[in-house]
Amino acid sequence: MFDVKKVELEWGGKTLTLETGRIARQADGAVLATYGETVVLCAVTAAKSVREGQDFFPLTVHYQEKFSSAGRIPGGFFKRERGATEKETLTSRLIDRPVRPLFPEGFYNEINVIAQVMSYDGETEPDIVAMIAASAALTISGVPFMGPISGCRVGFIDGEYVLNPKQETALEEGRLDLVVAATHDAVMMVESEAKELTEEEMLGAVMFAHDENKKVIDAIIKLAEQAAKEPWQIDMSDDQSAMKEELRGIVGDDIAAAYKLTDKSARSDALNAARAKAKEHYAEADGQTQMTAGKLVKKLEAEIVRGAILKDGQRIDGRKLDQVRPIEAMAGFLPRTHGSALFTRGETQAICTTTLGTKESEQMIDGLDGLSYQNFMLHYNFPPYSVGEVGRFGAPGRREVGHGKLAWRALHPVLPDNEEFPYTIRILSDITESNGSSSMATVCGGCLAMMDAGVPIQRPVSGIAMGLILEGEDFAVLSDILGDEDHLGDMDFKVAGSEAGITSLQMDIKIAGITREIMEKALEQAKAGRAHILGEMTKALGTARTELSAHAPRIETMQIDKAKIRDVIGTGGKVIREIVAETGAKVDIDDEGVIKISSSDLDQIEAAKKWIEGIVEEAEVGKIYTGKVVNIVDFGAFVNFMGGKDGLVHVSEMKNERVEKPTDVVSEGQEVKVKVLEIDNRGKVRLSMRVVDQETGEELEDTRPPREKREGGRGGDRRSPRGDRGGRSGGRDRDRGPRRDRDDRGGNKGDDGGDPDHMPAFLKED
């Protein structure tokens, strides 16, 4: 029934299996990829004809993680996979970016690539498996795909490159999380986060990945030799050279003049005028001819710009190849934010703000590995007015998610440890102008905003976007590319890092790969550009501010014995809720006994801290404390003197003279100063007020005669230890019942309400 074709490869210590012919047989190409016990199914379908009027390549890649693959049920109300998560969106882009350039120019048939995680072993990352499955499915589908490609992850642990580590392990135990996609001959895509690697270390990692990818590419070719469908016959032979030369004569000079204008708006107007002139020339032609003319005008623009750069070193705005546009940076741009910055580089501008929050503000992520929490977020917004256009303004799309994650990766490696700076950090980047890399402007502005907020980052980070013009053997690497240089060039190469090394590298190309020589040149030129940008940023703010904004919450951390956690929380959270309600501070406690107390009011933090210290601290005999009367009984008063601890001040220990009733001396809620006289083996505490000056808190000399002191410990003048209530029936008044039900707090913390069976040992008669 099934004509199964399969290839296997030992790769990175695990078996990689690619299988086709069993699953999704109606798709143009379907591959079940298994690596370890992670299984991804990828199916490719392609439209057999082009939609009328189609003038671009409609490739869509969808990556989906099924919770059943990890034996989990999704969270939320609907309990099913719904809209794409951030990770699914980023992985879809990860597959799309190296695949898209490998289709022939002018191929406009719609192609749909769907990769679904069917099984996840908790160790093998499914994004790499999905990329390999997509490449194999496209290769055997028959569509004009000039692959195959392969992808792999590389770590840098203890000075050695490691193939396909788990993503968390790559940065917890090492210094690099790098994903590289490549054909057999050249690198196509790079995505990474690094802990300040040198250019040599980063380049070595890319080349290591390329060598490993070749092994998988050979396996995909073997599968294709067994199972590939007949290749599509695509007629791409339409000779348009005559029409192109005709257009060169009509608008060639106009385009060349437009690209000599340094102002983006003026240049855009001049180019639109040239395009309109070309369109008018073919106004009487059919729709297909008009569409072809529009494409050829864009090709003329690319030829003119690229030729000027390669031959004369002349860029659109007149800069040298390695020159960065003018930069102006401002820190503390907005008055009420916790931290803010305005970063402008040429005609690219970003307003970045930093907001500090507590643990409860962390981002909860429900993924295949279970629930996790993230205390650093970076959100990027790209409104249409930033490029002078009218367009959709709403929820972020794939591009916004991708650009935000790139900036996140660039800044994440220099953040302080959570123990040093226990805040949740959110950076918001609003792009207000764009002509060139706004993601790198986000890196620079986001770094300044964090420093303005007082985040003690290890070192400032800057970022730069590099471009490439490649014609045959000739190439030119451009620093700080404009938007037009990005569109008309062959590479978008973004590098971010500190003075100590690279923190993030991303590369996308529009040609069939680049060589080691080109990458080496781009990294070297980017290093000089990053250093220049860091110098300009330092003029605005060189180091992180030492004080937080007055509007930011303060957080203090304290460590308690794990055995005391339940005392701080209380039954059903009663105690911790009371602390929060009374002090106004937020209190978070983890399973290790780490307590974080937060508030914008330092007095509230101090009050909560003292309360907790009182709960966990052990009372000391002979020490003087300040407490509050929480319950009055006939034989004395119970005083809360250490957070959750109560002790008894017997009526005989209230004053040096005879006291008829405790209420003659104290009232509930009154603040008193007490000395600890005794702690019995059950933890019951006996207190004294009479040996402490109630005004100053100083200890007084005990002037009571020895006999009185001895008898006072048992009731002073030999009264019943349960109070002066006419004999020994004082604590057993059955008509009134035990006192414990008069005040829950007293009963819960040591007040046995006068019941002699529960009386503290030191109050019972011999």
Q: What is the pLDDT of residues 65-124, one digit of tens each?
A: 999 999 999 988 889 988 899 999 999 999 999 999 999 988 999 999 999 999 999 999
Q: Which of 21-30, 133-142, 348-357, 637-646 has the lowest mean pLDDT?
A: 637-646
Q: What whole-number percentage of the chain has pLDDT above 90?
A: 61
At residue 759, the pLDDT reads 47
Given a cut of 60, is residue 735 above it in pLDDT? no
Q: Which of 21-35, 200-214, 283-297 has the lowest mean pLDDT?
A: 283-297
- What's the gap between Cα 587 and its chain centre? 23
At residue 725, the pLDDT reads 39
Given a cut of 70, is residue 248 above it in pLDDT? yes
Q: What is the mean pLDDT of residues 248-270?
A: 87
Mean pLDDT of the chain: 88
At residue 739, the pLDDT reads 42
Contact 130, 18 (CB under 8 A): no
At residue 132, the pLDDT reads 98
At residue 513, the pLDDT reads 67
Q: What is the mean pLDDT of residues 517-546?
A: 94
Give the three-class secondary structure for 115.
Answer: strand
Number of Cβ atoms within 10 Å of the Cβ of 369:
14
Given a cut of 90, is residue 546 above it in pLDDT? yes
- Rounded CA-CA distance 605/610 in Å is 9
Q: What is the pLDDT of residues 480-511, one digit of tens each?
A: 999 888 888 888 899 999 999 999 999 988 87
Give the three-class secondary structure for 166.
Answer: coil
Given a cut of 90, is residue 746 above it in pLDDT? no
At residue 134, the pLDDT reads 98
334 residue type, one letter:
L
* Per-residue pLDDT band at 239 (split at 50, 70, 90): low
At residue 474, the pLDDT reads 85
Structure tokens, 629 = 């009367």
Q: What is the mean pLDDT of residues 27-56?
A: 94
Given a cut of 90, is residue 581 above it in pLDDT? yes
* Per-residue pLDDT band at 743 (split at 50, 70, 90): very low
Burial 174-208 (b: 16+ CB within 10 A, else e): bbbbbbbbbbeebbbbbbbbbbbbebebbbebbbb
Of the two residues 313 and 109, the one the predictor is more confident about is: 109
- Rounded CA-CA distance 66/73 in Å is 9
Given a cut of 90, is residue 197 above it in pLDDT? yes
Q: What is the pLDDT of residues 683-702, one digit of tens each?
A: 889 999 999 999 888 998 88
- Distances, alpha carbon 315 to alpha carbons 259, 268, 322, 468, 482, in Å: 9, 16, 10, 12, 10
- What's the gap between Cα 60 and its chain centre? 26
Q: What is the pLDDT of residues 606-660, one digit of tens each?
A: 999 988 988 888 888 999 988 899 999 999 999 988 766 789 999 999 998 888 8
Q: What is the mean pLDDT of residues 256-276?
A: 87
- Rounded CA-CA distance 662/654 in Å is 8
Given a cut of 80, is residue 703 above it in pLDDT? no
Q: What is the mean pLDDT of residues 290-315?
A: 86
* Per-residue pLDDT band at 723 (split at 50, 70, 90): very low
Given a cut of 80, is residue 579 above it in pLDDT? yes
Partners of 178 in the beta sheet?
A: 154, 192
Q: Which of 140-144, 717-721, 756-760 has the lowest mean pLDDT?
A: 717-721
Domains of the chain: 5-227 (3.30.230.70), 245-312 (1.10.10.400), 327-540 (3.30.230.70), 554-616 (3.30.1370.10), 624-763 (2.40.50.140)
Q: Which of 346-350, 378-382, 395-399 has the lowest mean pLDDT?
A: 395-399
Q: What is the mean pLDDT of residues 234-250?
A: 80
* Per-residue pLDDT band at 299 (split at 50, 70, 90): confident
